Amino acid sequence: MDELSALPYLDAVVKETLRVHPPIGDTVRVAMKDDILPLEKPLTDMHGAVHNGIRQVISRLAINLIYIVVNRISKGAVIFIPILVMNRSKELPERWDDLPKAVSDIPGVWGHMLSFLGGPKACIAYRFAIIEMKALVFTLVRAFEFEPAVPANRIGKKPAPLQHPILRGDPTKKPQLPLLVKAYRRRD
Ligand code: HEM
């Protein structure tokens, strides 16, 4: 594990893969008590209104046309956590060797991203999952060469709850990513 963890390029590949394609793209949490969830910086919505905290819809009138929202969260409120969106925020860097301050504020349990979430109910197996990915990639790329077997535009994605690649037009939507695999030959 120490040897795998010491390989910076392998680490960057695994981080970038889990950042751009987190298997769990979003999740929810339920508030255990009334609370206020402040935003890091104020947000201006599409109507020009400025928000300082996460707002909650408390009532919908006239068939979804009017929403009454409040600047607090009440006990039992369901809070949507957009893992995929936060991982891909354009304000965050894509380089892993020189992270600026903005990204260190992401409260994820690993890698300054939310792919394994954060807090007491984060993924309990993230270390195992990472080292498993690294061991597999390390072993496979030394023995084989991989090429896409179909054009990139034929590969689609099944969204929530578990994201995975699918073949566009395949009605079963089963996970698949066709590859051509050849034995690796060293080119000197
Ligand atoms: C790349 C692989 C994985 C990713 C991205 C991942 C991601 C996550 C995320 C985001 C959660 C929180 C879900 C939520 O509460 O809504 C979670 C929870 C959990 N994961 Fe993973 N996971 C991975 C692999 C694994 C593996 C291999 C195991 C077991 C061997 C595992 C076991 C668990 C368990 C038990 C929880 C629930 C923890 C709790 O509620 O306290 N995960 N995982």
Task: Examine residue 149 and state whether it is found in any structural domain, yes or no.
Answer: no
Residue 56: count other Cβ atoms within 10 Å of its Cβ: 17
Which one-letter amino acid corresponds to residue 68? I
Full-model pTM? 0.78
Residue 76: count other Cβ atoms within 10 Å of its Cβ: 10
Chain-centre distance for alpha carbon 9:
20
Whether 77 has a binding-site annotation, put simply, is no
Residue 116: count other Cβ atoms within 10 Å of its Cβ: 22
Task: Examine residue 90 and state whether it is found in any structural domain, yes or no.
Answer: no
Q: Measured from the CB, is residue 129 less than 6 Å from ligand 1?
A: yes
Burial class (CB in 10 A: 0-12, 13-18, 19+), 182: exposed
Q: By residue range, what is the domain housing residue 44? A: 27-81
pLDDT tens for 20-71 read: 999 999 999 998 998 888 887 888 888 888 888 887 766 556 555 555 556 6
Chain-centre distance for alpha carbon 66:
32
Rounded distance, CA 70 to CA 59, Å?
Answer: 10
Is the model more confident about 53 or about 184?
184
Q: Measured from the CB, is residue 184 less than 6 Å from ligand 1?
A: no
Answer for the pair 83, 26: CB distance below 8 angstroms, yes or no. yes
Instruction: Specify the number of domains making up the chain.
Output: 1
Task: Examine residue 156 and state whether it is found in any structural domain, yes or no.
Answer: no
Q: Is the pLDDT of residue 156 over 90?
A: yes
Is the model more confident about 102 or about 106?
106
How many whole angstroms from 96 Cα to the centroid of ligand 1?
23
Rounded distance, CA 158 to CA 166, Å?
Answer: 6
What value does the mean pLDDT take over residues 157-179? 91
Task: Examine residue 45 and state whether it is found in any structural domain, yes or no.
Answer: yes
Q: Measured from the CB, is residue 30 less than 6 Å from ligand 1?
A: no
Which one-letter amino acid corresponds to residue 21? H
Instruction: Looking at mean pLDDT, say which of 20-24, 89-93, 111-115 comes out highest.
Output: 20-24
Nearest protein Cα to ligand 1, atom 14: 27
Q: What percent of the chain has pLDDT over 90?
A: 49
Task: Examine residue 121 and state whether it is found in any structural domain, yes or no.
Answer: no
Element (H, E) at 167: strand 164-167
Three-state secondary-structure class, residue 105: coil
Task: Examine residue 157 and state whether it is found in any structural domain, yes or no.
Answer: no
What value does the mean pLDDT take over residues 156-166? 89
Nearest atom in ligand 1 to 128's CA: 27
Q: What percent of the chain has pLDDT over 70?
A: 87
